[in-house]
Amino acid sequence: MPTTAARASVASPEEHILTVQEALEPLFLALEEEAEVKMIAAAVKAGWSVADAVAAIDELRRNELLPGRLTH
């Protein structure tokens, strides 16, 4: 089942986008927002408050950005 963000269009090179990053940024942001909404909904369904869910997501992001952290 396609997600809302997956249906967003990616600009083509013919649209005079300066960089690939600029072309993909709207899709990336939509996917990030959709993922956060789903994580918050799952946490609330499990009994957590929205505030706790948002705080946990923020903590995950901070940990992901720590210097020296090994990535996949």
Q: Quick check: pTM over 0.85? A: no
Segment 37-71, tens digit of pLDDT: 999 999 999 999 999 999 999 999 899 877 776 55
Percent of the chain topping pLDDT 90: 46
Banded model confidence at residue 1, pLDDT cuts 50, 70, 90 = very low
What is the residue-averaged pLDDT of the chain? 82
SS3 content of the chain, % helix, strand, coil (to 5): 65, 0, 35
CA triplet 34, 39, 42: central angle to 5 degrees? 125
